[in-house]
Structure 1
Amino acid sequence: MLDIQLLRSQFDQVAARLATRGLTLDAAGFQAMEDERKRLQTRTQELQARRNTLSKEIGKLKSRGEDASAVMAEVGQLGDELKACEQALPGLLERIGDFAAGLPNLPHESVPQGSDESGNVEVRRWGTPRSFDFTPRDHVDLGAPLGLDFETGAKLSGARFTFMRGQIARLHRALAQFMLDVHTTEHGYTECYTPYIVNREVLFGTGQLPKFKEDMFWVLRGGDEEGTEQYLISTSEIPLTNSVREQVLPADALPLRFTAHSPCFRSEAGSAGRDTRGMIRQHQFDKVEMVQVVHPEQSYEALEQMVVHAEAILQKLGLPYRVITLCTGDMGFSAAKTYDLEVWLPAQDTYREISSCSNCEDFQARRMQARFKNAQGRNEFVHTLNGSGLAVGRTLVAVLENCQQADGSVRVPPALVPYLGGVEVLRPAR
């Protein structure tokens, strides 16, 4: 969440920066709320001071045996007005807070300006897309004989759910295990296991609520309309980042690095009709997530580092990819700067997103009240970062398509062979 004091003192500058994200702020509406807030707070202070003065006068009058009824009547009138001000102020502050909570993060000065993905900027490429001496198949056709079953997934749960069995299920598990091992043993992350269902305030902390409720799956604990509303996580970034909510960390505890493998649940409310074939866009998918909680002075160094950590997985698997800086109009709600990693998919003859790494600066920390004790002994908000390390299903897609052979078999990347019990080639069942 943006600092409300920043909005109050530099509204025009904030509005100009958010305009690069395609957002127009209601300056008149915000100013009207602020004017009313100042009036209520000033009037409350005036009334309290006047009541205190009159209360002392009443005491003096009574001590002299004089009539204090007129002064007491005035105190009563002040009390009614004071009560009205005190009752109006909390609701107004809540509306101002809601206004601030609905605003996305300010883009970092290094982020290219653009209205949509066409404004994204390529940073670098790694690997050369393979040239095939046969027509490459897509992961749907390749995966079916290996145990990738969309029909059963749809029968059990509806569209955009997948059932896996046999070799594909084992490959999927191997990829997740491989990613976790690399991040924990080579990159210094602590492996975590998180809840898959979280409370509303947790999603507010990382920015999914209130604005993006329709993209979530939610449940009512208790099974009726009076139950507690809870949400299935759309990424383990949510519980990992919120693990430091409402804490004041010692400075020497930073940086914190967490990783977790979890299923992710997304309703994809805003993507109707997109990527309906195969595993590219699913309601349920797995992801290995990376989260860092760092000192504010180190967050952009940590962002570059996190991108390298995600790249390492793709390089070890031998999958060609490119790194993209997202423009202002294509970034997520909580991000100040984001890099996407896009892996090459031969059947689509294009690069597709497989990881997104973002620095949220203190945006999430302010919503979570996650702080640290700085060198001056004062509490200061931490900076939070998150990144996919990687999306497991899309990595499986990339392995199938990039490592396919003419007979429909799939060569296992050498880094995964130990995780598959020495199996070097996945062959269609006969």
Structure 2
Amino acid sequence: QLGTMFATQTHPGKIPEGPGLATECRRALDEREAPPLLIGVGGVDATNAAKLIEAGCDGVAVIRGISDARDPEAAARAICRALAGAGTRISKAAQNTRAETTAQNAADVRELMRTRLSMTEAELDRMVRRRPLGARATAEPKLDWLQTRLELSDAGLKKMVLMQPQLLTQSVEKMESNCDWLQRRLDLDDSGLKKVVLENPSLLAFSVEDNMAPKLNWLQDRLNLDAAQLKKVVLGRPSLLGYSVEDNMAPKLDWLQTRLELDAAQLKKLVVAQPTLLGYSVDANMAPTLDWLQTRLDLDDAGLRKVVLVKPQLLNYSVEDNMAPTLEWLQTRLDLDDEQLRKAVLRLPPLLGYSVEDNMAPKLEWLQTRLELDEAQLRKMVLTLPALLSYSAETNMAPKLAYLERETGLSRSELRDRVLIFPQIISYSLEKRYRPR
């Protein structure tokens, strides 16, 4: 009946734990039939006092020096007991008023989300379970600011709020400060900032000093990235701003460098080319994928390293759904032995990501029909020039073969014989190699 009070330490230049604790307390208390008052006690400044109110506190008692006590926790508890027992106006406030206000605030915010963002009842229920949404008077200006600052459509705003409903408990000043810092630190234009925030909305609540700044500094130093490369990596994997250096990125990069015997330049090249690998699991993904690939193709360490450096995306490919059936199909289609298959992959690592149905099957069928090749001739062409599998039939090979027939006067069979002797003829540029002659 006296209400609930809590105390938390704050530190200059850092976001205190108070707002997060207040939100958790408020959610738990609001589940009661008659929710009690929630008072924050501590050496909070005006900004953090406002955050506590936004997070669900009914009031704040500013009492400095808690953190300097011999036993801060005991001191905080003593203060809470003293305030509760002193017969203050707050401790004797009518609880039904608080309950009615809380219920009305919740109803108002739900109505705002329904009309403004076309949210369903299921979506609203999911949001409320994750985080109380506060009052309409505080939520609506934040929606306006987010939509204007990031140039979001209604659908984009809805997606962001569903992903991170706690944004509605953050102050506009905090979110604006984080946006400004990100743009300066990474030289992001408005579209770049929008991409980063849409993919990782929680960064609007991150501490710059304790989280983002040291994390980006570490990554830049670890990989010796220039400003443009750091920007590219973050744009390619915005969620890395939420990764732990000690528990995630540092051990992952160390593992990759050791497993593939990469020098610093090669590791840098790999991450810049495929920033998403920072989100891959070593145990569940990369380690078994590399082990399988090395065994399936009988690759030595140098061969495995070459394949990964050329096609880093394969670190996230499914063995069962992608690489295994692709290699099995290619080996069967061209009647390749294991050594021939290994050489083809080493010369064209991207083929591990090619679609059989949409790419390789129709391409080989077209090539065989166009040049009237038997199976042995088709196999010879592909083994001599695996890059054929990367060429477009319609925009690359067909125009070149038609040009050669027309300009040289060769019959189809004569053209076939010439291509079989020197398949690289198809790799030459029509505009730069043939027509200038």
Same-fold status (TM-score > 0.5): no
TM-score (normalizing by structure 2): 0.20
Larger relative CO (CA 8 A, sep 6+): 1 or 2?
1
Larger radius of gyration: 2
Higher helix share: 2
Higher strand share: 1
